[in-house]
Amino acid sequence: MTLKIARIALFTLLPAELLLVVLLVSGVPVPAPLIAVAEAVVAAVLVLEAAVAYRLFRAARRGGSDRRAALREVRDRLVPDKVARLIGFELKGTHSLVLWAARRRDGVPPGAVPVSYFREETFTRSLFLFAMVVEAAGVEVLLRGLGVPHGLRVLVLVIDLYGIVIALAVHAACVTRPHVVTAGELRIRYGAFFDVRVPRELIASVRLVRNRNEEGFIRVADGTAAVVVSSQTNVIVELTEPVTVVRPLGRRAEVGTIRFFADSPEAVLAALRPSPEPALET
């Protein structure tokens, strides 16, 4: 019961605190007693969260978990899975920006074949990013012309800039996290949102079939997963037995067929083709 109260309090507190910050920076007069009560409530919630987290940590340690596993259990119990996954997307996106700047890739070991899938969407994303920059500048000029308080203008600008960074992070994640073919597996990804590893021994067949009428960007239906780029897939992998895929918000499903898009589908086919047996010397 205490855990449930702590989770409700945490996710009720965040929007309420954000609203108070917006009012303060926009110059709206907020009664001092209301600010004092709000800060007291924040302090009480933080104490509650700390107490519950400590109790969960001690219970996990008594159950035999090491410190890292115990901290993970605290996180999983206090933070809903969907919220944790959204936070994970942001962290992976930030990491991807660093990798992109350093011209490095994630999860491509020596000897592996990386296969990109981002080129089809580069032009569209560039237009979208340009529109976001123009919109941020236009809103700033409009708010300044309307005489909006400086604090509120800064807040709106920060939100616009945050959106631009997120858009860049999504693209960077797609660039730095390609599909990967190794000696042991086929790894199919879509940025920070999707990642499935398929052991090569489970692959029954690989075919190049272009489909230009796909919907969404990650879809699972009737035992088939589709990882879509610009409404397209061009590689179909049939499996000898199902594998588990995890959708972006955590739902799991068993699939026996995976369709996905690759900038160079022939490279996937070539990398998955069995190596010829060495000739025997006589």
Structural domain harbouring 51: 2-79
Contact predicate 177/95, CB 8 Å = no
33 within domain boundaries: yes
Residue 149 has what pLDDT? 81
| 114 or 74, greater pLDDT | 114
Fill in the DSSP letter of residue 203.
Answer: E
Looking at residue 216, what DSSP letter applies? S
150 is a domain residue = no
Residue 105 lies in a domain: no
The secondary structure of 35-97, three-state, reads HHHHHHHHHHHHHHHHHHHHHHHHHHHHCCCCHHHHHHHHHHHHCCHHHHHHHHHHHHHHHHH
Task: Please check whether residue 155 lies inside any domain of the structure.
Answer: no
Q: How confident is the model at residue 62 (pLDDT cuts 50, 70, 90)?
A: confident
Task: Select from 24, 49, 79 the last residue of a domain.
Answer: 79
Domain count of the fold of the chain: 2
CA dist 116 and 186 (Å) reads 13
Name the token pair of 164.
Answer: 């631009």
Q: Give the pairing type, strands 113-115 and 185-190.
A: unpaired
Task: Give per-residue pLDDT as tens, 129-163.
Answer: 999 999 999 988 988 888 888 877 887 888 889 88
Q: Name the pairing type of β-strands 218-221 and 194-199.
A: unpaired
d(CA 227, CA 245): 11
Does the pLDDT at position 30 exceed 60?
no
278 has a pLDDT exceeding 50: no
Q: Supply angle C-alpha 58, 63, 69, rounded to 5.
A: 75
Is 177 inside any structural domain? no
- The reply to whether 63 falls in a domain is yes
Using 50, 70 and 90 to split pLDDT, how confident is the model at 239? very high
Q: Which of 35, 62, 79 finishes a domain?
A: 79
pLDDT at position 26 is 47
In a domain, 160, yes or no: no
**Other C-beta atoms within 10 Å of 162: how many?**
10
pLDDT at residue 13 is higher than 70: no
Residue 129 included in any domain: no
The model carries a pTM of 0.78
Choosing from 27, 54, 79, the residue where a domain stops is 79
